[in-house]
Every structure is written in C-alpha cells, then in structure tokens.
Structure 1
Amino acid sequence: MNSGKEINEEAQLWVAFKKGDQKAYERIYSAYYPILYNYGYKYIRNTHLVTDLIHDLFLKLWTSRERLSDPASIKNYLFKSFRGHLFNHSKASKNIFVGDGNQLNDFNIELNDSPESNFIADEQMTGLRKKIGQALQKLTDRQREVIYLRYYEEFSYPEIAEIMGLTLKGTYKLMGRAIETLRSQESIGNIILFLITQKHFYKNHLKDHHRLENVDHQKSA
C-alpha cells in the first residue's frame, strides 16, 4: 500500500499529466510500461502487438487527458484501462478467442520464458518449476489472472474487482476456488512460496490465508 506521501506525489503527477506536462506523461509511461507489458503478454504472446496496444492506450489517454477522472491509484487505473483495451482489440480483430463475459482466454503464467523464471533457473529448482507450471495449468484463465494480480502485482481485492469487472464478493470467491484447486494438486505451498519470494508478499499471504480460513469456518458453522 502506498504511503500518504507517495499518494500525494502520484496525485500531483496525474494532475500535471492532465495539464499537458510532457515530462509527467513520460514519467508515467516509463514507470508503468514494463508491468503493463508483462500483464499484456500473459494474454497475447506477441511482443509487437502488446507494445503497440500499450502505445495506443497511452496515446488515447494523452489526447483525452483533460476529460480523465482523478484515480485513487494510477497503476490500478492503467491496468483496468489496458485490460479493457485488450478486450476491445480482441473483439475487433477476432484474432483472440473470447471466453465467458468479458474474459479473454489464454491468460498464461508461464515460467519457462518469463522474467520470473530467473529465480528458478538452476537445476535444483527445475522440478519445482515444473510442478508450479502444471498446477497453474489446472486453473481457469480467470483464476490464474486473480492469482497474478494479487500475488505478482500486489493489488488489493477491491482493486482486483475493479480491474476484472467483478463484484468484491465474486473476487473473493474466485480466489477461493483457485486456492482450493491448487490445494487439491498438493502444490499450493510451493506455488505461494514462489510468488511470495518473487515479490515479498509474505504479509499478504498470511492475511489471505487467515481470511480464507475464516470463510471456510463460516461455511462449516
């Protein structure tokens, strides 16, 4: 979670961007291009296309900047906007299959060719990487996406709900089903450990685990 100072600086940066400050635009672009690319590449395994779509999104934001709202989080706003942009492109081009509702298919968290693979590149970790990959493939696209947004990008549940166009309750249920599926593969510990080590999300994991235990307890009560 951002501190009050960081939130204030971010708000000032966004205001400057809306006023047409080129440097503010470049700062936002430079800061968020890498993570938007990584997110988009999980959907579309095409480097040039993902890059073009990010450029297109920022161009649209720049040309309509004066009419934009003031988001609580620039990162959350950009992820939501980019996800919608990906979906609109898929509908227009028919090159990407569209699943139920507004969900794009083939959201992949692949370890072999992603930046995250560096962490488990040595031979001793090859087996773990294989198990993680196999377990993640047991999840649906939306389940993989909610895992990614929560543990890779450290979004809160309300933020994930906004990005994915879900209710908050629906977001909790989606994560709960993902966790249960991973538990059934007996790989949840290894997977969460990998994600936590990558992004230092130990506190978030403990909170999620405690929250899910409370949900399970309420169901059994």
Structure 2
Amino acid sequence: MVILIFFISIWYLSLFSQTFFQHRYAAHGAFTMNKSWEKFFFIVTYVTQGSSYMSPKAYGIMHRLHHAHTDTPLDPHSPSNSSNIFTMMWHTRTVYQHILHQKMEVDERYSKNLPVWDGFDRFANGAFSRLLWVGLYILFFVVFATSPWQYLLLPIIISTGAFHGAIVNWFAHKYGYINFKLKNTSMNLLFVDVLMLGESYHNNHHKHPASINFGRRWFEIDPVYYIIRFLLYLNVIKSVNSSSV
C-alpha cells in the first residue's frame, strides 16, 4: 500500500508541476508571478519531478517550437515524424538536450519571457542530481516494498516525465475526439481527464494555447484550472488577461 501511494503521489505531483509551471506558466505565459514565487515553484518542480526534472526554460522553448511547427519536420515531438513512440521520445530528449546546452540555434521569439535560474538548472539537470534521486527511489522501495512485483513501478517513477510526455504527445495526436478543426492532428484523448490533470485535452489546448482552462465542454474537467483560480484568489499568481480564464 505504501508503494502504491508513493507511486500515485509522484505521478500527480510531478504532473502538476509540469502542467502548472513548465507548461502553462513557462511555455505559454498564461499567468504571471513575482520572482520569489517563481523560484519557489522551481524548487517545487525539482522536488516533485526528481530524476525526470526538466528545465522550465528549455521546456518552454521546446514546447513553443511544438506549437509553431506542429506535425512538421521541425516539431520536437510528433507521431507524424516517428515510426513508434520510442523513437519520438528519444528525438524529444535529443532536442531538449540541445536546447538546454545551447547546441542549437533558437529564434529569439521562442526564448522571450521565460523563467531563468541557470545555476539551479545546471545542478538539477546534472548527472549527480539524477543519480541521487534514483538512489533515493531505490532506497524507498527497499524499505517499503512488500512484493517483488512492486519493483515494476520503479522505472515509471524514475522516468515519470517521459511517461507523461509520451501519453500526450503520442496518443493525443493519434486517438480521441476533436472540438476544433485545426491544421494539425491534436485530439482530446480523454472525455474526463483525471489521469493527466487536463493535459489530454490537447485539441482544446492547440486552439487556445494561452488559456488556463484546458477544458471547453461541460464534461471536460480540468482539475488544475481550479487550483490556478485559487492561486489567483490568493494573489500568488496574476492573470495576464480575461481571455485566459
């Protein structure tokens, strides 16, 4: 039971950081926050994502490229460019590393107004940090696992971010339904998205990328939207414009 609770906690806490901080804030600027809160959420993202942490700056650039070049050869992650999910995710990793280490030219329009904490990102993306988290996860399993079968969850925990990315970037471009006819293959993967905290409403998101609410129809519940509204109420973050709500 402890291992299952740990797995579910990592899945959702990591996913929240991705969709709230890296995706809606860094990539799309759907809301703003001051630098103190920004650093706070840097740390929250690092703690919740652990070994699969991604730099909000590099993630933001990569995701902006995805929106600008969806389903074209310049898309960092599209099923249209890959024969299977594994080659797509490997290409995604390669593009991310090239952006992170400044090994590819990026147009200035994709790198504006991004959260920057270079020293922290160097540490968080380093081999020592990733191996430290892997060691902590293994130690947790050694202490609390009650069955060898529970160790099957360990690789997912170590690479949670990759699993999140694969579900949306592969399956939500191949399966589902559409609310908006767009010039790309984005679809809404799930009718009620509890699994991906609203991220699977991918067709909606490609239509309204700066919206803080990824749901559009009455049954499309985006749990993170309500958390964002609460943080707006507390003045932790500020809305950019009314259309984003």
- Same fold at TM > 0.5: no
Which gives a bigger RCO, structure 1 or 2 (Cα 8 Å, sep 6+)? 2
TM range (shorter): under 0.3
When normalised by structure 2's length, the TM-score is 0.25
More helix by share: 1
